[in-house]
Structure 1
Amino acid sequence: MENKYVIFDTHAHYDSDAFNEDRDEVLKQIQENGVAFVLNCSSDYESIEKTNNLTKKYDFIYGALGIHPSEANDFNNDVKSEIIEYVKENKKILAIGEIGLDYHYDGNPLKEVQKDVFRTQMNLAKELNLPVVIHDRDAHGDTLEIMKEFPSVKGIVHCFSGSVEFAKECIKLGYYIGITGVVTFKNANKIAEVVKAIPLEKLLVETDCPYMTPVPNRGKRNKSDYISHIIEQIAQIKEISSKEVNITVNDNFTRLIDKKI
């Protein structure tokens, strides 16, 4: 059945091994179901090239290139130079990401290493005049501090997990709040409060696929057409039409990247 929405997925990982068996089939299917745009975000070193290649193979896939905080030990000047080269030769690379801080897992790189790599990639975004896609897990204070160090850089706080107060601070800095399928979960009171409090003009929708699958498909591999459930949940929380949510979040993203898709 054709989706009634025009879907912009502002954070996906179709380079993931989870799609190795049927990537072409899935990407064809989501297009048929209303997905008009996907921002594929790299994470580790290998996914930088994979993401770049996906943007060349599929018209509706664009890219963000960067090193995830969990892989911060892999970042060096050679990686930085490679990202710069891809950005220069490929106009479909729209952002630096996903970058940021992740203090959740004990096995992650040292906090000081993560912060140094985060700052370096924020500075790269500043130099290239590109927005950023920020990953922040259990690191709200340090993430905000570094964001404030780069006032000219804008972007998305992806898979937002902070408080209303933190969201408002991010918005003051010119960032958008990325809402995933978590908002559809029964225990999602915190993110529901954020959605209610934050202007619709500052929200974006994303899958983080293959992860974060929304209800009613929770437990399955996520994909971009499932964003319809996120749109409908936001509409319910804000007590407005789902069509208004759909149109506005798409306009928000084109505003962020300063071009029409």
Structure 2
Amino acid sequence: MSAVLPGQQVPAQHVNLKLGPGLLQTTGSANGGPPPSASIITTRAGTLNHSANGSKWWVENNSRRYVPAPQEGVIGVVVQKAGEGFRVDIGSAHSASLDGLAFEGATKRNKPNLKIGNIVYARISLAHKDMEPELECFDAQTRKSEGFGELKGGFMVRCSLGMCRQLLDPKHFLLPLLGARFQLETVVGVNGRVWVSAKDAREVIAVSRCIESVDPDGGGMDEADVVNFLKTLGV
């Protein structure tokens, strides 16, 4: 990892290169000459990251405003029914569109009956600066739901984007710690939202408060702090 500023060139090269948030591929030619090879530049300040094999590159920074990027999993709230689909708030500058057929096994006669206020876990299928984002509730390769779709019951916790990325790291301590104490079900979206379902409301509140307390924007508690915090809650 290394710190970068907007406009810096990134040495990202791979036969199956995929660019995540904060990176842009540019091409161009000078004085009408032959086009040079594509270059990758950063569009925001943060920390440059890449996968182990170098096929995926992205820039991380801790912010509240989510910028949609293709293939990312997000948690959204249905805010409007629009024709044959829905408009969904995903925490970005613009609402996303979700087609009524963008679900596993959905047909014109058999579509999900989502209502305003329902929570969905979806994948961003289209993200462009000049277009509203589009969502799908199935895996792009298998066409199966793979966990995407309506999230029934539970409670949605809002946190920083950095906190969500930490929770998606299998090595992070929080979710395994909470899962050992509670009958817990969680879904983490990269857009600063976590859906939590537990046995009763008291446990849901305890889990939610732990997530907020570990969040770098909310105190940044470590594992020992969380254990002591749970004792004060009596759970």
TM-score > 0.5 by shorter chain: no
| TM-score normalised to structure 2 length | 0.26
Bigger Rg, which one:
2
Bigger proportion of residues as strand: 2
Bigger proportion of residues as helix: 1
